[in-house]
């Protein structure tokens, strides 16, 4: 199983975490497509079903990128950096709304905590593997034209 994700052990925890977060986003995508939205199982905060499905489609795209990138994590480190930025932004906005808007439902605390944990784990496992911040946040440029 270890060789499935990466041939070196130093990036294995990052690859597994990235794949796990992809599974988490897949679940979120399915929830948005089928269960979240006005008149559905989860309707607080109110969200038109079109926007729920629209949001769910993005979650499915993120899941696809994460799961497939985990099989060659060294090559796709920039995807990890993009997801770090995206998750931190999402968590900051989510927690901001939950703290500042008293009418915002508290049912989203669990997703904020889980996404925070994934973002921290990405950074911790990348640092443990000796990955420099530039490798995560700047795309590699190669002259192969």
Give the per-residue pLDDT at 6. 47
The number of folded domains in the chain is 1
- Position 108 in a domain: yes
Contact 76/136 with Cβ under 8 angstroms?
no
Give the per-residue pLDDT at 136. 92
Residue numbers of the chain with a pLDDT score lower than 50:
1, 4-6
- Position 24 in a domain: yes
- Position 94 in a domain: yes
Largest Cα separation within the chain, whole Å, is: 55
Range of the domain at 31: 2-131
pLDDT single digits (tens) 113-139: 999 999 999 999 999 999 999 999 988
**Could you give the CA distance from residue 103 to residue 7 in angstroms, rounded to a whole number?**
49
Query: What is the three-class DSSP state of 42?
Result: strand
Cis peptide before 45 (omega within 30 of 0): yes
């Amino acid at each position: 199983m270890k060789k499935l994700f990466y041939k070196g052990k130093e990036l294995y925890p990052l690859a597994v975490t990235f794949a796990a977060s992809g599974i988490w986003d897949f679940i979120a995508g399915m929830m948005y497509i089928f269960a979240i939205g006005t008149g559905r199982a989860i309707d607080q905060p109110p969200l038109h079903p079109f926007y729920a499905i629209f949001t769910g489609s993005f979650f499915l795209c993120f899941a696809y990128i994460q799961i497939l990138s985990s099989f060659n994590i060294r090559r796709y480190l920039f995807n990890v950096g993009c997801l770090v930025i995206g998750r931190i932004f999402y968590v900051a906005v989510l927690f901001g709304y939950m703290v500042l808007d008293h009418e915002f439902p508290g049912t989203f605390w669990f997703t904020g905590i889980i996404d925070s944990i994934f973002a921290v784990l990405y950074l911790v496992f990348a640092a443990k593997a000796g990955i420099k911040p530039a490798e995560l946040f700047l795309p590699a440029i190669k002259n192969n034209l």
